[in-house]
Chains A and B, each alone.
Chain A
Amino acid sequence: MAVENLVKTYPPGIRAVDGISFSVASGEIFGLLGPNGAGKTTTIKMLIGLTKPTSGSLSLFDVDVAKSPQAARRMLSYVPQNISVDGDLSGYENLLIFSKLSYVGREDRKERIAAALQYVGLTARANDLVKHYSGGMMRRLEVAQSLVNRPKVLFLDEPAIGLDPASRRELWESIRQLRKEFGTTIFITTHDMSEADYLCDRVAIMDSGKIVVMGSPSELKESLGGDVVTFRLTQPNKAVALPADMGQLVHQDDSTIKILTHDGQETAPRIVLFLKDQGVGIQSMSIDIPSLDDVFLKYTKKRLEEHGSMAEARAVRRSIARHSR
């Protein structure tokens, strides 16, 4: 997959996606990370040809997606953020209909559907209407659709959002399995850093329509260099101006201050003294090696907005509820 200088503007001149370029190798799991409204979903929609890019080029196994979306769609499968299986059909029927619409050969269909149902553990519920499934089961059925269609590229838009931790684990395992068995290239958008860290070979962090940094999770973490020192505060405090030689203030809110520094062991005591001087009340302190979360904080200057992600999780749960009506 090759993306070159992709731009999407919405009237009146809002640049939802602002000139991004990247490429994904065959068989790679690639993550596009970013806060809400960074342009992740718009990017995915352009990649599968549901929305036309304003400018720029994108190709999938040498097929120009904007020019021949139909040909591109033969190679891909898409799991949107909201549950997209049909609640008024049984699990089996969902797989059957979508395999036909994706032109899976008649001779392969039956066998693949049975195997996919088995694989996601829905064989016993195959003939129940999907509206009686749980959210996790609906997601697994969507993965099963991809198993039946055997796409070369699978696009997942925030796949684990709104799921409980156990379902999330199961989903991640099925995604990895998919790549292992069929060499599927997988493109994921997420704002869950643990998901990206666990699944992705490479990630690109996107903010306000631009890619701010790209690399493997471990590279990115190492690129920060040094340690992250986190202070829990006794009370909210005004913004702190940290001297440059102590490190970089990457985050401050009412209860925490995070500082990225070269050698945490050595600088932490100096920072404590400095903060005390500034009248900051410290409750506790910890020194950690950087996580993907810290990478994200550094490059987007944004904490993953908890409110935002709660709202999205609620939207997905609503979508599950709508399917279960």
Chain B
Amino acid sequence: MTLAERVSSALTIADMEARKIHHDSTELWTRLVQPALWLLIFGEVMNGIRGLSTGNLSYIEFITPGVLAQSVLFVAIFYGINIVWERDVGVLTKLLSTPSPYSSIVIGKALAAGIRGVFQAIMIFGLALIIGVNVRLDPVDVAGVFIAIVVFAMCFSSLSMLLASFLKTRDRMMGIGQLITMPLFFASNAIYPLSLMPAWLQYVSLVNPVSYTVDAMRAMLLTGDYSNLGIDIAAISVSTVLFVSLASLAIKQLLE
């Protein structure tokens, strides 16, 4: 098994998903409604109050990276449902019986979640520009944001596949998805600064990859303050590698 083969398998799986999206992209469009509501309704209303200390940023600017992360998080955390579905219809059995290694299949699927994330990001980016968020349009920063989104989607879609390997039904996956997304979102700096949280919640947010992602995106998208970027990248990378590895080991449980 050469590295080229491993990479090729992962890219093929991602390509498979891209082709499915190409055939039918309804789901992606419906998933845009929620982040649009956060920005347009919640953001606008809170913007008027000016009750949160968000530094030099307006509130709407402050939550733009948060909403971006949240919409990608939603796509990723429910990604395991697709795997369960593929198991139910027999496609997964077929995938796992090819010579391609399980890790390549998991990475490919995670990349596919990344593709969905990028689609979300482009739309939210556009929306943010339309409502006048002052985004730094430096090409390196924009590229950095998109890379962050792909890695972030890979991180939580792998977590989702890991959970799916043990939970095995779509109903349970729906339940667990609901159960963990909101806490991940609220225990992060997505819609309010960490400094406003009670002390215990600040500790929780220290182990929450969402916070690091939002922080990195906020730096690249808005503030240009790169002082925490190294820690952010390290934290996201470590959790992604961890979840991808665990999911690769666990995925065959789905067939038992």
Which A residues are within 8 Å of any B CB, using their own CB?
A: 45, 48, 50-51, 70-71, 73-74, 76-78, 80, 82-90, 93, 97-98, 100-103, 129, 319, 322-323
Contacts and interface: CB of A to CB of B under 8 A. Distances in A.
B97 A78 contact: yes
Contact of B89 (A51, A74, A323): A323
A80 B90 contact: yes
A88 B23 contact: yes
A76 B96 CA distance: 12
Contacts of B100: 101-103
Nearest to B21: A88
A287 to B, nearest CB: 44
Nearest to B104: A101
Interface string B81-99: 0000000111101111111
A98 B1 CA distance: 17
A206 to B, nearest CB: 21
Contact of B91 (A71, A78, A86, A129): A86
A212 to B, nearest CB: 27
Contact of B16 (A74, A84, A86, A319): A86
24 contacts: A50-B97, A50-B252, A70-B1, A76-B97, A78-B93, A78-B94, A80-B94, A80-B97, A82-B89, A85-B91, A85-B94, A86-B20, A87-B89, A88-B23, A88-B24, A89-B20, A89-B23, A90-B23, A93-B16, A98-B94, A102-B100, A129-B23, A322-B88, A322-B89
A101 B9 contact: yes
B96 A50 contact: yes
B98 A102 contact: yes
Interface size class of B (residues with CB under 8 A): 20 to 34
A322 to B, nearest CB: 5
Contacts, number: 80
B256 interface: yes
A93 B22 CA distance: 12
A127 to B, nearest CB: 11
A15 B148 CA distance: 49
Interface in B60-96: 88-91, 93-96
Given A45-B255, A98-B94, A101-B13, 14 more contacts: A50-B255, A70-B1, A71-B99, A74-B99, A84-B91, A84-B93, A88-B24, A93-B16, A97-B15, A100-B9, A101-B9, A101-B99, A101-B100, A322-B88
Contacts of A97: 12, 15-16
Contacts of B5: 103
Interface secondary structure of B, over-half rule: helix
Contacts of B97: 48, 50, 73, 76-78, 80
Contacts of B1: 70
A78 B20 CA distance: 23
A154 to B, nearest CB: 12
Contact of A73 (B89, B98, B255): B98
B134 interface: no
B178 interface: no
A60 B94 CA distance: 19
Interface string B218-256: 000000000000000000000000000000000010011
A101 B92 CA distance: 13
Contacts of B90: 80, 82-84, 319
B256 A51 contact: yes
Contacts of A88: 20, 23-24
Contacts of B99: 70-71, 73-74, 101-103
B104 to A, nearest CB: 9
A41 to B, nearest CB: 11
Given A51-B256, A78-B94, A100 B8 contact: yes
A101 B98 contact: yes
Contacts of A319: 89-90
Given A101-B95, A101-B98, A103-B99, A89 B256 contact: no
Nearest to B24: A88
A74 B97 CA distance: 9
A82 B5 CA distance: 28
Contacts of A77: 97
B79 to A, nearest CB: 15
